[in-house]
Amino acid sequence: DGGITQSPKYLFRKEGQNVTLSCEQNLNHDAMYWYRQDPGQGLRLIYYSQIVNDFQKGDIAEGYSVSREKKESFPLTVTSAQKNPTAFYLCASSTMDRARVSTEAFFGQGTRLTVV
């Protein structure tokens, strides 16, 4: 089945530790995104990528890093510089139209990260 797979579903991080969240899609979408969701707030964009080997910072990129070495994969690393990483992280992908504008977005099932 086509879709977006995020792993792991739950992740626990110790203080000062870097962790990497996986996001894989087999929809052949050009664009991929990482969002952070906190209770009572709208989703906030961390990073996005419209093409392989290129990515852009979103609104809350500090303390996070990404790579886009393959079209299908867009891993997110939460570094020790992120002071409040406990949240629900969502990965999404979309196609691009002729004007290079992203169209309908599809989401994975999310990863819940907790600092212990």
Residues near 77 by Cβ (< 8 Å), separated by ≥ 6?
Answer: 18, 19, 20, 21, 64, 65, 66
Residue of the chain from 6, 25, 82, 93 that contacts other proteins (CB under 8 A): 6
Site for other proteins in 11-50 (CB under 8 A): 33, 40-45, 48
Q: Look up tokens 């792991």; give the residue.
A: 8
Class of residue 22 by CB neighbours under 10 A (exposed 0-12, middle 13-18, buried 19+): middle
CB of 90 to other proteins, least distance (A): 6
- Based on CB atoms, which residue is closest to other proteins, 17 or 86? 86
Phi, psi of 92 (to 5 degrees): -140, 160
**Would you count residue 109 as binding other proteins (CB under 8 A)?**
yes
Across the beta sheet with 19-25, the strand order is 4-7, 19-25, 76-78, 64-66
Q: Which is nearer to other proteins, 52 or 60 (CB)?
A: 60
Which residue, 80 or 106, is less far from other proteins as judged by CB?
106
Residue 114 is a binding residue for other proteins (CB under 8 A): no
Q: By the criterion CB under 8 A, which residues form the site for other proteins? A: 4, 6, 33, 40-45, 48, 56, 58, 88, 90, 92, 101-110, 112
